[in-house]
Chain A
Amino acid sequence: MTGLLTNFYADALTRDTWWIQLIRVLLLIVPILTLVPGLIWWERRLLSWMQDRVGPNRVGPWGLLQPIADGVKLFFKEDITPAAVDRAIYFMAPAIALFPAFALGATMPWGSVDPDSPYRLLTPVADVPIGILYMMAVSSLGVYGVVLGGYASNNKYSLLGGLRSSAQLISYELAMGVSLACIVLASGSLRMTDMVKVQEGPLWGIGGLPIQNWFFFTPYGFLAGVIFLICMVAETNRAPFDLPEAENELIAGYHTEYSSMKFAVYFMGEYAAMFVFSGIFAAVFLGGWNPLPIRWEAIGLGGLNHFLKILGPLFFITKMAFGISVYIWLRATLPRLRYDQLMDLGWKSLLPLAALNLIGIATWQYVSSVYGAGTAIPVGTAFVILAAIILGFVLITRKANARDFKPRTVRYVDAGKGSVEVAETGAPS
């Protein structure tokens, strides 16, 4: 058996015996499973506060047991299978939706993997040299649960939800891939533990700075991070990108025909995916398990490092909670996009921006490797100015285009008097 695994990943899976691998998997899955109810509670409460109401506060202290009551209710509900569904696919779809949500985190490091860290054997599940590609691959599988559920339900609304979802996920997958490619260029590795490691270096590669190089603090990383954040919201079908389940148009979209536990499985898959995506965002852009972007050894407090490493997972979970709160914040703030706006944003804004960013980071890397890290500052400044100019140009032309409505002659039929022509001046609002 070990021979087989050696062949899979010579340097990843065989660093220890099977039971350590099992523990590693459990340490990823069990927290997600147990934290999902907490997440649901937190979403409802936070959303309520943002909307100036109280939210669920009856079951247990501060309403903490509400999700459990909901779960029990869902469990005992009647499981209805509509007569005309495509049975095999109908039953398979929720399971297919759940799989990627849990498999996604396999390469995500939630603690330090340095030799002196207590978590070096426990995280990530598989420290493979293709970590970020693996994450891309698994997240692209997430669309199948939605599409198949929509198809198998034999319901026009479900089918429309599935169609929308497949188009949306393909569109945003691209921008997400390109924005992650920027980080791959910056860190020089596809391995996620290496990405975290690079972020522990000095900011922008300048030796003396006591600030860590979290990618969110670099100009290119900031842009890539914002794009990734938007794409991950779209990938998890969350507001304002929840068109596949837009209730005012599609009832409940792809899960209209699902009830009881099958619905709960879809629900759980969505929330687990939110969790893991927040974790990946934290690991790739926000310095992983590091609590503050400060290089303690550079200001003479190197002894603190070991202590912080032990507390690492705690900080990581804090960052995940922050990411999830951003999800909820977005849901409370932004109205749902229209379908054409969604496609516009994905294809005409995010993808070109991410591609430009890729060129920028490539230039940055080249200049700082040839002329030294110090020159990266002028290049970075130039990059920011250039990006600002391009962005401003785009915005101004858009504004100009929007203003460019000529007075139009609009003809309409008045039932009483027959056809009447009215000259309407100014832009239609």
Chain B
Amino acid sequence: MQNLTQQVPLLFFGAVAGVAAMAAVGVVAFGSAIRSALCLVLNFFLLSILYFTLGSQTLGIIQIVVYTGAIMVLFLFVIMLLNLGGIKILHEKRDPRLILGGVLGLGLFALIATQILLPLQRVTQPRAAQDFGKPESLGVTLFSGYVWPFELASFLLLIGIVGSILLAKRRILPSERQEDSVRSLESGEVAG
């Protein structure tokens, strides 16, 4: 019985991580983009649970707010918008890249696993404090030692906003606008 209670965290981790890994495979393997996106949503959700188990509750919740709640909704939005535009379904070709990608992936996995992961296999006990992910301590660090990176990140986000607006905006030239209004009037729709 004692042994079993010891195993509970391990089993819990195994279940969550297993599903997360399968979802990660699903992102790559599914043919339709929306299925891939759903797999990614599941993956991010499970990752936030893993963040909780690591004791970093604030980042776990931010993970849901930022990734699951905002970024992935944006992805779904774009996928659906492109679907609405009647996009041709991309048929994934079976070409040499499949083999190349597989080999490269395996190689990378083997390399990092043997060189970085294996030396660390003795580490089983967390050394940081239990509550190292408290919002208070996180906020204090962010606004003391990391103020400048924080400001830079906000600037980056601002540039991102401006850039994406410029990219996604359809430019309407003044002459075009004039023509449009005349055309719409001629076709019988009276503006205003």
Contact = CB atoms under 8 A, between A and B. Distances in A.
> In the complex, is A directly touching B at CB under 8 Å?
yes
B5 interface: yes
Given A3-B9, A151-B80, A412-B185, A129 B135 contact: yes
B135 A130 contact: yes
A102 B131 CA distance: 28
A162 B70 CA distance: 15
A8 interface: yes
B73 A143 contact: yes
B41 A137 contact: no
Interface string A188-199: 001000000000
B139 to A, nearest CB: 9
Given A1-B8, A7-B53, A428-B191, A166 B186 contact: no
A163 interface: yes
By secondary structure, the A interface counts as helix
Contacts of B130: 7, 10
Nearest to B191: A428
Interface stretch (B19-27, B61-69, B102-110, B111-119): B61-69
Contact of A129 (B55, B62, B134): B134
Contacts of B192: 428-429
A8 B80 contact: no
By secondary structure, the B interface counts as helix
Contacts of A410: 185
Contacts of A173: 69-70
A410 to B, nearest CB: 6
B57 A130 contact: yes
Contacts of B190: 412
A336 B81 CA distance: 23
Interface string A126-142: 00111001101110110
B47 interface: no
Interface string B41-56: 1000000000011010
Contact of A147 (B5, B53, B80): B80
B182 interface: yes
A185 B74 CA distance: 29
A143 B192 CA distance: 33
B51 to A, nearest CB: 11
Nearest to A8: B52
Given A128-B57, A136-B65, A4 B12 contact: yes
A144 interface: yes
B80 A130 contact: no
A140 B77 contact: no
A413 interface: yes
A144 B42 CA distance: 12
Contacts of B57: 8-9, 128-130
A141 B186 contact: no
Contacts of A428: 191-192
Given A10-B130, A137-B68, 6 more contacts: A4-B12, A8-B57, A140-B73, A163-B81, A167-B77, A429-B192
